[in-house]
Amino acid sequence: MAGDKKLVEAITSMSDDFAQWYTDVVKKAELMGYSSVKGCMIFKPAGYALWENIQKELDRRFKETGVENVYMPMFIPESLLEKEKDHVEGFAPEVAWVTQGGLNKLQEKMCVRPTSETLFCDFYKDEIQSYRDLPKVYNQWCSVVRWEKETRPFLRSREFLWQEGHTAHATAKEAEERTQQMLNVYADFCEEVLAIPVVKGRKTDKEKFAGAKATYTIEALMHDGKALQSGTSHDFGDGFAKAFGIQYTDTDNTLKYVHQTSWGLSTRIIGAIIMAHGDDSGLVLPPRIAPIQVAVIPIMQKKEGVLDKAFAVKEQLLRAGLRTKIDDSDKNPGWKFAEQEMRGIPVRVEMGPRDIEAGQAIVVRRDTREKITVAIEELADKIKDILDVIQKDMFERAKTHRDEHTYVATNYEEFKDAVANKAGFIKAMWCGSRECEDKIKEDTTATSRCMPFEQEKLSDVCVCCGKPAKSMVYWGKAY
């Protein structure tokens, strides 16, 4: 058992150093590797398989709402990027530029896309002529580049994978409805598939996307009490349309500008899965997103008939639609158990000679380590039930953690004390002024996470300045 003990000891306890725990888990679970390209990461099979499952599930949900996939170039000419003033100013510090092609200097430098609003706008101005051409509800799966100064696996890297939806509509009402619809798609996906509870709301003007009329967000709380922005949806109004001249002839034969939206979710959501569910033994993956749902581990596998039965069980589970692997390596069982736990596989099936003789196997839950004896012929049905219970329990535990780490502050002393001593969300009233928002960040390092759709009146006055309050805001330290 010395081997499996060493594997677990290689992970720093999250209570000792949460940041190091996170890095240890990412590396030991072999989700990613470091690249010789500074600030960029390599997705290993286990990490990319997670993204594939996320992509598959989200893409299905998108298409159910009428979304079609397209693909845009990765380069954006400088003149195109500069057409929308607020947008280019917001991204300027993070843009990577290409100035030479082959042996020749480019006549106009191009950026590697940090996002694709300008490309879609340039496309839409020629594609949209009449009200009959609307709406355009497009999405692309791609990578983007933002020249981050500090990077962390999945959470922040100079190149990352994501999807970005870009839609064009005839009216402001239609655009706003699509913006909210896609936010709800993200929220439902996070809660139903990733077992991560989220707070839905609107960003303040300070925190909204560069060039947007309004930005909506889902915010999740991690084990360490920090918030993670997990998906955003933006209502652009007609600002981009006016900058790029995207007009259509309406039914009354008049020219009108389109109204646009944009929405995106990236590979940082893998970081959310790790930090919302993991423990000191490694990953804990929700069954609906886990690349491998069941690990079959034969005990005393050199005994006659053990491996044959283990492979038969694997085939039985695969036929039942369960993503299953068998560990028939020559490692000792303790190491195999520790490795299965490290990788977050939701359940393992242990079976040795005595189990097989009795016509049973031991099913062990990754989240609670509960052991359940199950008849071999009933394994598929029982494991499906167990996975459903694990999925539900993981969501409830994450929700309980969030609720127990959400605090209320009605004056500035309470607020500062909560930020300093209570890791989590802080609900407090706000007057709506940029000055108070800036002061709170300067004094405490906490930022506004969102103005939730479900508003509460905690008091009549702003927690910072004492003037009449306009909104209740979730505040917190964030990744």
Quick one: angle between helices 18-28 and 268-277, nearest 10? Answer: 110
Domain identity same for 139 and 224: yes
The confidence score (pLDDT) of residue 105 equals 97
Over residues 173-196, the mean pLDDT reads: 98
Position 2 confidence tier, pLDDT thresholds 50, 70, 90: very low
Does residue 400 belong to any structural domain of this protein? Answer: no
Domain identity same for 377 and 271: no
The confidence score (pLDDT) of residue 83 equals 84
115 neighbors 236 (Cβ within 8 angstroms) = no
Position 6 confidence tier, pLDDT thresholds 50, 70, 90: low
Does residue 56 register a pLDDT over 50?
yes
Position 446 confidence tier, pLDDT thresholds 50, 70, 90: very high
Domain identity same for 417 and 448: yes
The confidence score (pLDDT) of residue 7 equals 56
Q: Domain of 366: which CATH number?
A: 3.40.50.800
Domain identity same for 7 and 152: yes
Over residues 314-323, the mean pLDDT reads: 98
Does residue 359 belong to any structural domain of this protein? Answer: yes
Domain end call among 321, 354, 387: 387
Domain identity same for 353 and 445: no
pTM score of the predicted model: 0.95
Range of the domain at 455: 406-476
The confidence score (pLDDT) of residue 351 equals 97
Taking the C-alpha atoms of residue 257 and residue 262, their distance in angstroms, rounded to an integer, is 16
Domain end call among 249, 277, 305: 277
Does residue 394 register a pLDDT over 80?
yes
Does residue 34 register a pLDDT over 60?
yes
The confidence score (pLDDT) of residue 89 equals 78
The sheet carrying 159-169 orders its strands as: 68-69, 136-145, 159-169, 259-266, 227-237, 214-221, 199-202, 447-452, 471-476, 425-430, 406-408
Q: Domain of 465: which CATH number?
A: 3.30.110.30
Domain identity same for 48 and 91: yes
Domain identity same for 356 and 450: no
pLDDT in tens, 417-426: 999 999 999 9
Domain identity same for 383 and 430: no
CA angle 196, 199, 200 (to 5 degrees): 120
The confidence score (pLDDT) of residue 8 equals 56
Domain identity same for 178 and 50: yes
pLDDT in tens, 457-475: 999 999 999 999 999 999 9
Domain identity same for 128 and 271: yes
Domain identity same for 172 and 272: yes
Does residue 205 register a pLDDT over 70?
yes
Position 410 confidence tier, pLDDT thresholds 50, 70, 90: very high
Domain identity same for 11 and 113: yes
Number of structural domains in the chain: 3
pLDDT in tens, 86-142: 777 777 889 999 999 999 999 999 999 999 999 999 999 999 999 999 999 999 999
Long-range contacts of 239-244 (CB under 8 A, 24+ apart): 239/84, 239/86, 239/211, 239/213, 240/84, 240/87, 240/117, 240/121, 240/211, 241/121, 241/168, 243/83, 243/84, 243/85, 243/121, 244/83, 244/84, 244/118, 244/121, 244/122, 244/124, 244/125
Does residue 285 belong to any structural domain of this protein? Answer: no
Say which DSSP state 44 is in.
Answer: P
Does residue 3 register a pLDDT over 70?
no
The confidence score (pLDDT) of residue 1 equals 41
Could you tell me what percent of the chain has a pLDDT over 90? 94
Q: Domain of 70: which CATH number?
A: 3.30.930.10
Out of 88-102, 229-243, 358-372, 438-452, least confident range = 88-102
